Structure 1
């Protein structure tokens, strides 16, 4: 998940949103096939992407070093081992770098609707009615294949090490085992692919806004607020029973929310805590929060990473059948484009919980602190 801030306000894009959405949809590949403007990577280039992450994109002209400063781990997880990936994973990933996945992935043009903590918002460069852009996409088919390949290995490992599990999908191996170490090297490679993926999309967002609004990218002042992994295991030091310990923290359906002063935070945000990006649905709102000391000690520096579904995808499709979803959203002031109608049906707003209720719980528990609410003006879905 990545959030970009800009120097634009809502008045700067009035009358331009339809054009912006159409242009973003045209310039950023989306969906399962993702055939528009896809990079033609050589095998050697893909290996560099898997090893270096977002830095590869910046070095090839897609962004600036400043983008890396506001990205988790500077956009590159150390310990990636591209050689661990299967030929099938590489084959699936090669044509998909710089694209939005299907399902709940998106590029969204939003505005800051509410500010709850003026001091933190100002420090993050956020202000009311400001145009921001949210990017939610990951390692695409490459990451899916890494997972698929690992499940086969882990099912064998579970039996090999005599581990009893209640469900086959919980197959696992001891962290120090060859199977686990191989998966970690592959998983970090996929994470680096995802960092590079969001970096390329950021570049095309800047280009598109510059083309449509006829301003230079520099004048638009699109900067990365933060970029963070979802659904990953990270090795971190946390205090357990008063003793600092090196742990593997597995966040699934969660996001990292480091406390103020944590050494792994970018210097710009170290005194504040980590920006926590919580997307909602395409018809309502999302939130920006900030990490807290309480969350750091009580939840291994973890917070919620989204609203969560109220309906299964099949239930959502049934509910949306025959409805003019695009027109419904336009009537609410939100322009949307999608690679297919099926995705829009699966992603109708009511398919998700009201994310404000989730955020209220997180804020009330002190796990992370609410800073701002953002609302969509335009949505690109895969």
Structure 2
């Protein structure tokens, strides 16, 4: 990219001052190498977000930012609750794609003799891959109850423990969900997909804590060196995809009637307080609940697998975060507390210490922030900071960020070779798709360690622990 467009404010914070149609400035987080890697499309998409009605400064691009559908992945945009817009492109196709991490009470050595057996059982019992569904069938009111209740509904059905809910954003349920606004085709696509991972970058990974950076925060999170953890990364499956697919063209067509000049049709939006905006908000909220219920059901299945092989394990939810959402939140704007709608697409909420929405046990530490790496590389547990509330609407990165498209990765890497290489490193991979392994090859992603270092240096989240994979189940 043309780095002359940016003014460096610190080693990992860069400002693009508003120009042309931009209504507000934009901040880019990352060291110089990360900033130089940004492609022109990503930068233009950030400019587009900063040009939408009711946008509030600053629009943010996280260190893992790369181009997406209209709105950049790794992008954060906040909008005035009275005069702002809501964008289906700003949430994305996989509504509430997110990750949750479970502690197990086990140590790395406890898996030495049974990691292959555990991998096979997890792969067998937890469906993964494009279009693959599970054993739960949702019909009629049962579907709508799930879309209204989210993870709380799943726990009520016996899939989990009541104490899980306090470790999930919104206590496991999005309050503005309206199943009536969800397209019928979206519900049909979700009919048998609850409790399944899907494909792409979604995974179920058994990991161990390789390194602790902040002992006090790690203790608050119940993390110790060599502890075994389980991370689940997935979203709202076909339901979320269909919601975006149906609402995006409607928003694009309606934009002129709202007096909105779209920089690009892919960033289609509608006034938050319009009927169309409220309809999408209700559908999107239902999509969030769908993803939360999905991760909750998978958690139950994971617990059953561990009980069969490692009955001494006790799987406790550390935290669950979503990446693709729009949430109404209170933030300090120009010295005053104000309600705004925050879009996070490929970005993670990272609440700092003392935030009223945090469980009591995390009040001093800040929110656990789970950052998934690429297959075969490290993942991280971070903690939210007070500085993040000031400069990024309490947001940080969500992963490594892609360096190459999935199509290019398939041409560049051989899935069988990647699987064997990871096996030699002691990482067991189970997948129903060799092409899927190639698409998610570690070298198709940015350097996760550099992303995390930039995140911490910018002050938007603090490193707590570094995780390494033991086994990974992918679609």
Verify same fold: TM over 0.5.
yes
Q: Distance in 2 between matches of 1:172 and 1:344?
A: 35
Q: Distance in 1 between matches of 2:152 and 2:415?
A: 45
Query: Hey, what does 1:148 align to over in structure 2?
Result: 245
Q: Does 1:31 align with 2:124?
A: no
What whole-Å deviation, never above 9, does each CA across 1:90-146 have from its counterpart, x for those lacking one? Answer: 000111000001100000000000000011101100110000001100100000001
Q: Does 1:4 align with 2:97?
A: no
Q: Does 1:279 align with 2:411?
A: no
Query: Hey, what does 2:409 align to over in structure 1?
Result: 316
Shift of 1:368: 0.5
141-150 or 39-48: which moved more?
Answer: 39-48
Query: Hey, what does 1:380 align to over in structure 2?
Result: 473
Q: Distance in 2 between matches of 1:76 and 1:180?
A: 20
Q: Distance in 1 between matches of 2:405 and 2:230?
A: 27
Shift of 1:179: 0.7
Q: Distance in 2 between matches of 1:41 and 1:137?
A: 19
Alignment of 1:83-122 (within 5 A): 83-122=180-219
Q: Distance in 1 between matches of 2:339 and 2:415?
A: 53
Q: Does 1:263 align with 2:356?
A: yes
Shift of 1:322: 7.3
Contact 2:220 2:361 (C-alpha < 8 Å) held by counterparts: no
Q: Does 1:192 align with 2:289?
A: yes
Q: Does 1:366 align with 2:462?
A: no
What whole-Å deviation, never above 9, does each CA across 1:260-296 have from its counterpart, x for those lacking one? Answer: 1111112221222111111111111000000000111
Alignment of 1:1-382 (within 5 A): 1-35=99-133, 37-213=134-310, 215=311, 219-321=312-414, 324-382=417-475
What whole-Å deviation, never above 9, does each CA across 1:151-176 have from its counterpart, x for those lacking one? Answer: 02201221211211221101111111
Superposition TM-score, scaled by structure 2 size = 0.78
Shift of 1:245: 0.7
Shift of 1:323: 5.1
Shift of 1:26: 0.3
Q: Distance in 1 between matches of 2:292 and 2:432?
A: 22
Contact 1:29 1:38 (C-alpha < 8 Å) held by counterparts: no
Which 5+ residue runs of structure 2 have no aligned equivalent?
Answer: 1-98
Higher helix content, 1 or 2: 1
Query: CA 1:322–1:221 in structure 2 vs 1: closer, same or farther (change >3 Å)?
Result: closer
Contact 1:38 1:99 (C-alpha < 8 Å) held by counterparts: no
DSSP-derived class of the 1:98 partner:
coil
Superposition TM-score, scaled by structure 1 size = 0.97
Aligned residues: 377
Q: Distance in 2 between matches of 1:268 and 1:134?
A: 21
Contact 2:353 2:384 (C-alpha < 8 Å) held by counterparts: yes
DSSP-derived class of the 1:160 partner:
helix
Contact 2:415 2:438 (C-alpha < 8 Å) held by counterparts: no
Q: Distance in 2 between matches of 1:297 and 1:313?
A: 35
Contact 1:27 1:204 (C-alpha < 8 Å) held by counterparts: yes
The RMSD of aligned alpha carbons is 1.1
DSSP-derived class of the 2:347 partner:
strand
Q: Distance in 2 between matches of 1:162 and 1:31?
A: 42
Q: Distance in 2 between matches of 1:161 and 1:33?
A: 37
Contact 1:110 1:133 (C-alpha < 8 Å) held by counterparts: yes
DSSP-derived class of the 2:346 partner:
strand
What whole-Å deviation, never above 9, does each CA across 1:61-90 have from its counterpart, x for those lacking one? Answer: 111011101111111010100000111000
